[in-house]
């Protein structure tokens, strides 16, 4: 089994440095261009099935990559982006200057100290749900020889990589940095054991 973990293309909120989370923001024109170039980079990969977060920016990215291919595209709640609750819609470069949102600064700088806002989700919970999703794939006998596209989000893809690498300490969550928009991480799974072959490859 090979997994192709893709972060969605750029949105206007990415460009404006706004916290997105569960807010359903579509790709912008550059994001669609990124996805098209990623599609060209993955043209030789024969995908058997694809999973996407239900959020439009991830789904649209997957649809552009798959284009006219006859590949089932399945929505999967478990790979949705982390919920930021009250922090969503706020500029994350300015957020630390406001007492109301000050805790958000820990999300990227000290993830082990991050406390979710009202309506938000912890990093630990995110890792748990994406981990359960990956485990379902690993044990599915029908998927063992398949190429699988997984279209998701920055924190959710990072959580999947943490799980695959066996990193359990939340302090290490961003150890290799944030994945760029439309970056691709290729994972090989043999006998239920996963290893990363290529990490955060960019085709645009």
- Please indicate whether residue 8 is annotated as part of the active site: yes
pTM: predicted TM-score of the whole model, two decimal places: 0.96
- The predicted-structure confidence for 2-59, as pLDDT tens digits, reads as follows 999 999 999 999 999 999 999 999 999 999 999 999 999 999 999 999 999 999 999 9
- The predicted-structure confidence for 153-181, as pLDDT tens digits, reads as follows 999 999 999 999 999 999 999 999 999 99
Q: Which of 10, 60, 76, 81 is catalytic?
A: 81
Contact 164, 21 (CB under 8 A): no
Q: Which of 8, 22, 153, 204 is catalytic?
A: 8
Pairing outcome for strands 73-75 and 49-52: parallel
- Please indicate whether residue 44 is annotated as part of the active site: no
Q: How far is CA 146 from CA 23, 47, 65, 126, 135, in A?
A: 32, 7, 17, 25, 15
């Amino acid at each position: 089994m090979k997994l192709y973990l893709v972060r969605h293309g750029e949105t206007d909120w990415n460009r404006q440095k706004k916290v997105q989370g569960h807010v359903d923001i579509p790709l912008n024109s550059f994001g669609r261009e990124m996805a098209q170039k990623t599609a060209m980079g993955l043209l030789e990969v024969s995908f058997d099935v694809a999973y996407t977060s239900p959020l439009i920016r991830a789904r649209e990215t997957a649809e552009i990559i798959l284009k006219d291919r006859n590949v089932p595209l399945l929505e999967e709640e478990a790979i949705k982006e982390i919920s930021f609750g009250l922090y969503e819609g706020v500029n994350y470069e300015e957020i630390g200057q406001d007492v109301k949102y000050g805790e958000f600064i820990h999300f990227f700088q000290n993830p082990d100290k991050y406390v979710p806002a009202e309506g938000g989700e912890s990093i630990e919970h995110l890792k748990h749900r994406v981990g359960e999703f990956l485990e379902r794939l690993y044990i599915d006998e029908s998927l063992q020889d398949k190429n699988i596209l997984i279209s998701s989000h920055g924190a959710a893809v990072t959580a999947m990589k943490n799980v695959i690498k066996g990193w359990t300490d939340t302090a290490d969550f961003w150890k290799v940095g944030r994945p760029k928009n439309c970056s691709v991480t290729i994972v090989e799974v043999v006998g239920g054991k996963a290893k990363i072959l290529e990490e955060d490859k960019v085709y645009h």
